[in-house]
Amino acid sequence: MKNYLWLIFSVILFSSTDIAAQPDSLYFLKKKELPIELGWRTKKEVGLTLNQVSFTNWNAGGTNSITGIVSGKATAKYKKEKYFWNSNFNVRYGLNKQADRDIRKTDDVIEVISNVGLEKNPTSNWFYSAKFSFNSQLANGYNYPNRDEPISQFLAPGYMFFGLGMEYGRHIERLSFYASPFTLKTTFVLDDDLANRGAFGVDPAIYDLEGNILREGSKVRQELGILLTNQYEEEMFENIKVTSLLRLYTDYINSFGNIDVEWELNLDMKVNKYVKATLGSHLRYDDDIKSEVEVNDMTNEEIVIEGPKLQWKQILGVGVVVDLDNIIKPNESS
């Protein structure tokens, strides 16, 4: 798996950098095409995506279902001479209801990304950059249909990255590349049961022969390693835009060379001012997250811990997106 991930890194990042990316609020267009305004610029959006399927006397069969995802996004950009500060806040929460099943969660993200930069040489495409990011979830996650034992919660896990490095792309349209040789990754598992089980890479609890806890499981895991990110955005056709975020991380101390991969690829199709269709793909590989497999034989049933696996989430939906700035400004002027 290690060689496979290095191959992904080499091919995508260097041979085809057009398909990798960071969040779209961190782009910097050429000054001759889009002059950078000084001071603060903000943007706020809320959205609702719905998918519904209903059957009545349908001879091919099927299950009635409805899925809804509520989303919010806020960006803030500050620019003054050679300094800039860009920040993103994203939140999404989705639920699904099928005819014969209880409500289940389909999406759950809370994320903060902040980037501070210093342009040392105005003629160079390289500049100093410090990046901070935090992400977790809002509600409990379950391995359905089991609802008795959550497999994840708010801040279990939570991930925080902070690093210093260099970014290339200050004056390049749609594309940038960031490299940090010193990035601190902190994993939070602030739940006793999950921490004692050693979930998400933290040290598990130590038990005696009678099952009593001798030492509680760790709730925080820290790593220091290399972070590489690459960002790309392109309007393929009118009102059809593709954006991508690729993040690669490897720890110096624990299993150096095993690369954690996070790649989000989104295709946004704008129907009109308010209606938008989205096709999204989220690929993840985290060497610290082990998989649990239930094994049954003729005598007993047990849970076996296996190695990390490639995770993939895909979203297709049509929704309404409202720009809150366009609603607030007219009221302010009146």
Q: Which amino acid is at 20?
A: A
Q: How much is the pLDDT for 329? A: 57
In angstroms, the CA 66 to CA 97 distance is: 5
Nearest to 217 by CA among 234, 238, 200: 200
Whether the bond between 330 and the residue before it is cis, its omega within 30 degrees of 0, is no
- Token digits for 268? 């946004």
* pLDDT tens string 2-41: 554 454 445 444 433 443 333 334 444 443 455 556 789 8
Q: Tell me: the pLDDT tens digits for 163-187?
A: 999 988 766 667 889 999 999 999 9
The string of DSSP codes covering 293-329 is: EEEE-SS-EEEEEE----EEEEEEEEEEEEEHHHHHH
Given this model, what pLDDT does residue 316 score? 83
Residue written as tokens 């059809």?
240
At residue 293, does pLDDT exceed 90? no
Torsion of CA 231, 278, 138, 134, to 10 degrees: 10
Distance CA 276, CA 222 (A): 39
pLDDT digits (tens, 9 = 90+) for 145-161: 889 999 999 999 999 99
Contacts of residue 273, defined as CB under 8 A and 6 or more positions apart, other chains included, come to none
What one-character-per-residue DSSP string does 68-89 give?
EEEEEEEEEEEEETTEEEEEEE
The pTM of the full predicted model, rounded to 2 decimals, is 0.80
Residues 109 and 94: their CA atoms lie apart, in Å, by 9
Break the chain into its structural domains and give their ranges.
Answer: 2-333
- Mean pLDDT of all residues belonging to the chain: 83
CA distance 45 to 43: 7
